[in-house]
Amino acid sequence: MSAVLTMGSPDRGEVASSLHPPRVGFAETPLTSLERDGWEAEDTKPPRDLAGAPERGLPGLYLSCFDMLVTEDAAWLLKVSDTAPPSPGPRPEQCPVIDSQGLGLSLGLDGQMEERSLEQVQSMVVGEVLKDIETACKLLNITPDPIDWNVGNVQKWMLWTEHLYRLPQVGKAFQDLNGKDLCAMSEEDFRQRNMQCGDVLYAHLDIWKSAAWMKERCSPGDSKFTGGEEPWSEADSFCSGQPIHLWQFLRELLLKPHSYGRCIRWLNKEKGIFKIEDSAHVARLWGIRKNRPAMNYDKLSRSIRQYYKKGIIRKPDVSQRLVYQFVHPV
DNA sequence: GATTAGGAGAGCA
DNA sequence: TGCTCTCCTAATC
């Protein structure tokens, strides 16, 4: 196989189907054009025009098609997988490229080797998907399994998805539904509720449902799909059901540099110094997380400043705009 | 104009 | 009571 998986590549749909096994516990719903086009997303955002006429007939997983789920770090991971020769490679900020040829997946390998490499890649990708869903769960304070969502959780997820994919407001069309209702709906039902983005939401939800299915399927500690990590096992303030604190939220964003590095990043992780690169974006994320649509950086920064007195966050010795420091670094 | 700093009051669990 | 949101003024970049 000589799959070349490139963000922006016209062949990505083909690769999606070849990269992923026919069944790894994911729904066998055909890919939509959106899912394939998701690879084309620039700046880790999906294209705005997501609701084009869907092309059908590509069975497989959705997981590779959404930037949030296979985030840049997933692609980065693929790029630097152990099958790849050591190379500087693109920085995570760059448009990631999954190129099995470039990775050496097929060069000089017999079929078995290639298959094993692909399995490794698949495992890593699935693992990253699960981790990213987990991260989203933490940020939104919702459970990974959509069927457990209440009406509020559904709205949070909708808001999040709208924001992530720059969708027009779609939540209103689903505001009366809980997770069980949502999971019972067909793609057609989604389209009826929202002609423009119904199929997008349906596909996105399907990933979550599939991931929940996988989580159930994988015994605790099973690292088959996680590349050695257990994304569901982290126990912290996000999973405990307790209200999240802003500093915890910021730290969580900082822990996903390849997903959120554009809006917040470490300047000096050892010292706990970080910079908010996109204040409006971080504020928006925080607003979504806290169900505060009116949140802005002014308010967020005021909350950060409250931490000065508590000794949680302070300004670094050399004060810079949008730069803060955790008093007790990780 | 955007950011920083901090006071003050309100709402919530 | 603690935490956060919100609004405000003033200073600074």
Give the distance, in angstroms, between residue A191 CA and nucleotide C7 C1'.
42
Beta strands in chain A (DSSP E): 4-6, 97-99, 264-268, 273-276, 313-314, 323-326
Contact flag, residue A305 CB and nucleic strand C, below 7 A = no
> Alpha carbon A325 to chain centroid distance?
26
Give the distance, in angstroms, between residue A42 CA and nucleotide B5 C1'.
37
Nearest nucleotide from residue A304 CA, by C1' atom = C4
Contact flag, residue A324 CB and nucleic strand C, below 7 A = no
Give the distance, in angstroms, between residue A256 CA and nucleotide B13 C1'.
30
pLDDT per residue, tens digit, chain A (330 aa), is 333 333 333 333 333 333 233 333 333 333 333 333 332 233 333 333 333 333 332 223 333 333 333 333 333 333 333 333 333 333 333 322 223 333 333 333 444 444 444 445 445 556 666 777 777 787 777 888 888 888 888 888 888 787 777 777 777 788 788 888 888 887 778 888 888 878 778 777 877 876 776 565 544 433 333 333 333 333 333 334 456 788 888 888 888 887 788 888 888 888 888 888 888 888 888 887 777 778 888 889 888 988 888 888 888 888 888 888 888 776
Cα A123 to Cα A307: distance, rounded to the nearest angstrom:
41
Give the distance, in angstroms, between residue A132 CA and nucleotide B6 C1'.
37
Give, as ranges, the nucleotides of chain C with any atom within 7 Å of a protein CB.
3-8, 13
Contact flag, residue A224 CB and nucleic strand C, below 7 A = no
* Cα distances (angstroms) measured from residue A106 to each of A15, A18, A74, A100, A110: 14, 14, 20, 7, 8
Residues forming a β-bridge with A325? A273, A314
Contact flag, residue A318 CB and nucleic strand C, below 7 A = no
Nearest nucleotide from residue A297 CA, by C1' atom = B3
Nearest nucleotide from residue A309 CA, by C1' atom = B6
Contact flag, residue A160 CB and nucleic strand C, below 7 A = no
pTM of the model: 0.45
Cα A61 to Cα A203: distance, rounded to the nearest angstrom:
10
